[in-house]
Amino acid sequence: MTPLKKLDGRALSEIDSSFREGNRAPDFTELVSGFDRHESETGDLPQVMMDPLETAVEQAMSRFDVPTRSDPWLAKRLHSILRLYRREAADTEIWNYLSVVAFPRYVRWRWAQDDGSPPASRRFIGGRTFEQAFSRLWWWAEMTWNGNSYDAVDGIFQSSDLVKFGNYRCFRHRPAAIAVARFTDSADPTSDQAQDFGRHFNFFLTTHVLDSISENTAHYSRSDLGWYAAGTKDRQDCIENPVAPGTNPVPEQEIESVVQLLYRVADSVEGLSLNLQEAAN
């Protein structure tokens, strides 16, 4: 079995149009290094083996005729198979390796442009967190898991325009991220409306602190430490049944409190009509 590795950012110089088109395969050997996991509270963490993820990526490309529709399906499995701590996921060289060395064919499949031109280089390496092909999937799953469930992940990808606003502070707050996922699951704002919504919500939060809604975020952000230390067999099982690391789901009243904020924000966006009550249920 092949372990997860890292790829130095200097590989960016090789990501030219020929590579992005799949016509050139550079030798990245000298830029690849091992991924050494840190010791956790439960002891040494096992190496992350690539076999389950290889299966999941291949299944994503075969299951979905429309590549964009694979995002929530693969996001859940990527997160549940890798089982990384946030400090590990912050290492961009992991995502470089997945996109450039392990699964460049997936990146070309998912991010080929409408006019037939190849994906932009930022989808492989050097892009922001929510632009890079694999890191965007992992971080959305990380921010929206709820207890041991990934149900909210489906909603967050319903609006590709809203997904672009992952750097807004509302998405760093789990009840808010879940609430946003719920109403995007039942509405389809235009690109302009999604941009206005993101700006209004972000501005709204400058005067209304989300943490005042939820006074015990540590409780529902607590993870099962054994989840991170699981062996390859458990990770393989996640292809069929991805399981999130949480031990306590966010109380429904806290999600509903954020939904009420969304009503107020939606009123500020011209022409935006969202069935938020349906999304809250």
pLDDT at 78: 98
What is the predicted pLDDT for the residue at 142? Answer: 93
- Residue appearing with tokens 């590795």: 5
Beta strands in 192-239 (DSSP E): none
pLDDT for residue 277: 47
Provide CB contacts within 8 A for 222, sequence distance 6+: 246, 247, 248
| Burial of 239 (C-beta count, 10 Å sphere; 0-12/13-18/19+) | middle
pLDDT per 10-residue tile (average), the chain, 281 residues: 95 97 97 86 80 97 96 97 94 97 98 93 90 94 93 83 59 81 70 79 71 65 85 92 92 84 79 55 50
HSE (side-chain half, CA atoms, 13 Å) at 146: 22
Per-residue model confidence (pLDDT) at position 164: 61
Q: How many CB atoms lie within 10 A of CB 34?
A: 10
Amino acid code (one letter) for 70: S
